[in-house]
Structure 1
């Protein structure tokens, strides 16, 4: 073989190797883009997010107003509204992102936990899109997505502590990795958000002009600012149990019983409001906050005992109730006692949305885990724990914690 021809062949081979190497590097460094779909309850949400944490486009259709008018969430109504809205919501999110299905790297969809009829609509639509596009599907655990949303906005290393408090949940968990969680505290009955909503309804707060456009929880928070949090004692028996589990049904019953008694004493009927409404709101808010903080205090003690968190750890708080500024201030006090940093996503990302689903999809895509091998056979699960349950182990330890003192001014 002529030397020049040999040199050409070698150079050509080197060029091919170099070109393929650069192509591989470009592929690895290319920003991934994921569409997230959320229909676990009464919000139809979709969003497009990339690996840099940029929210490229999102859309949300809330059913809250309709369900409030009917006195609570009706699964059949919620399902019908999801069917009516899902195509438009997903299309709008893609349009706002300036993307098509061909631009995506995967589709993430909530499959657990939630209302069965609602989960089915989101999953069914995701399957249609996957069949049409050939894209990978990433099933998402709704509560794990809530727990990791803060990582979209801030640098938070694993492991960290998570408190999820909303109208449907009260959970304390340690996020050990993208797909690995320890459940250390759970709701045993009504959630804090549901407790606030039910008591607000019992108080007839919607009859007050300043509360007409507020949720029950927001109305109680506003009125509590003018009240005395020590006026009424709503004690939760759960506070004396050495666990991190939550129970708000007793607090709710005590508050509702007191309201009825005051209505009778004041001769109130119809939609009138009792004269001590501000004090009652402040006392209820304090009782709920105290229990949450007490559970959190024990969670920090348990994590320290078991070596589950690093020094100068992080607490992420999410869920609708996390928007309550009084509760946040008290949680901050507990964090300071434990040399921890408090991180709360903005209110719009604390409630259900497509962004958190897309971001959880990005997190799983990065590590190459949790991607469905057979999308069309995926199913939903209405009940699903966030992770390994260690609540009984924690209870058996009988951890004693110091008396909790909170600055209580609303």
Structure 2
């Protein structure tokens, strides 16, 4: 069902005073229908999920290829493309699901964190639907949605540990419930996906035809599969003296640039040419990042065991976010899980990256939990830097738990 043209929507959204209409009771059933809208960064994702966890329809407009030429996400261009794609994505999702907008029970929309002007596009559209069709709005925290989407595909009881790794975030948390998160550690500087993307650009992987249309992290993983010597380039692991679960990745980029400059000088590499050891350099960087993630995750497990935060027969670690699609990194966390007696679970790759499915599912989780719904939402509620849950990083530091780095180069033998 056509809602309105994109241009008409944005004109309407600017002049409308969204009025409270009183939220009708919304009870959870297997037939509950949630429309999810995700515009936190550079992907316009929309999906419809029912209370039974079935995906009825979806649409995803990725901007990846466009932003590759800019060397990263350009917020202004991302905003304009969201404006261009949001109406098309919603209409396409409704057609795929064979559902009229009137049959939707609520609209779940990402309100935090992310790029401010990108988030606003999704929120404005959700407000339009809420106003015109009298639907409640469910505000969604982007990272909480990443953490919970695995429960749509696997039986994962609370509590569980989650490692969220992406181009914008890196954190460890305990998930006690749909709306109860304890932050164990976070990145002190860059996110791993951001470093992988920058490293891929510096290594000029785009000049190799088979990697030219891949995102940076994916290109590095693909190139690393052809490694000859994964220890040809060694990277110093950061924060080894810090007995916490925080992360730091900026040093990897600086170290890679030094190693690359040395090899380019040695081989007299100029212009678009790539160093002959590029596969080994990709493997070395990937290995160092994986070991850094693994050692912090192991300390998180030990802390949770010490504080009885993961009691019960089911002990699970969920790995989600765009970087979770990297099989080498995921298998590295599985090594830690096997060592500590934990199941390590990853949602399907299509929902590890940003998408509307995880937003719609988080809406289902909140309806089932009877979390508060809204009749509208203010643009002032959009928060680009929202924290995730209650911060207990100081408690982790006070626990002072020593952990040795688990060496993971053997994982390259699986290729």
Question: Structure 2 matches for 1:11-410, cutoff 5 A?
Answer: 29=29, 31-227=31-227, 228-310=229-311, 311-372=313-374, 374-375=376-377, 379-406=381-408, 408-410=410-412
| Contact 1:330–1:407 (8 Å) recurs in 2 | no
Change (3 A) 1:373 1:103: closer
Aligned 8 A contact 1:109 1:140 in 2 = yes
TM-score (norm 2): 0.90
Q: What is the alpha-carbon root mean square deviation over aligned residues?
A: 1.5
Distance (whole Å) between structure 2 residues aligned to residue 245 and residue 151 of structure 1: 25
C-alpha deviation, 1:400, in angstroms: 1.0
Q: How far apart in 2 are the matches of 1:291 and 1:108?
A: 35
Cα distance in 2 for residues equivalent to 1:403 and 1:358: 38
User: Judging changes above 3 Å, is the alpha-carbon distance between structure 1 residues 143 and 28 closer, same or farther for their aligned structure 2 residues?
Assistant: closer
Measure, in 1, the Cα distance between the counterparts of 2:217 and 2:315: 29
Q: TM-score, normalised by structure 1?
A: 0.91
Q: Deviations over 1:121-143 (max 9, x none)?
A: 10011001000111111000000
Separation in 1, partners of 2:75, 2:270 = 32
**Ranges in structure 1 where 5+ consecutive residues have no aligned partner:** 1-26
Q: Mind listing any 5+ residue stretches in structure 2 that lack a counterpart?
A: 1-26
Q: Work out whether residues 229 and 408 of structure 1, in 8 Å CA contact, stay in contact via their aligned partners in 2.
A: no
CA distance in structure 1 between the aligned counterparts of 2:28 and 2:332, rounded to whole angstroms:
44
Bigger mean CA offset, 167-176 vs 68-77: 68-77
Separation (CA, whole Å) in 2 of partners of 1:302 and 1:28: 35
Determine which structure has more spread, i.e. the larger CA radius of gyration. 1
Name the SS of the counterpart of 2:386 in structure 1.
coil
Write out per-residue CA displacement over residues 71-125 of structure 1, whole angstroms, 9 at most, x where no aligned residue. 2111111111111111111111111111112111111000010110011110011
- Going from structure 1 to structure 2, the CA distance change for 1:81 and 1:400 (only over 3 Å counts) comes to same
Looking at structure 2, the residues matched to 211 and 29 of structure 1 have their Cα atoms a distance apart, in angstroms, of 45
Residues 1:302 and 1:87: Cα distance change in structure 2 (over 3 Å): same
Per-residue Cα deviation, 1:129-186 (whole angstroms, up to 9, x for no partner): 0001111110000000000000111111000010111111111111100011000010
Bigger helix share: 1
Distance 1:37 1:61 in 2: 12
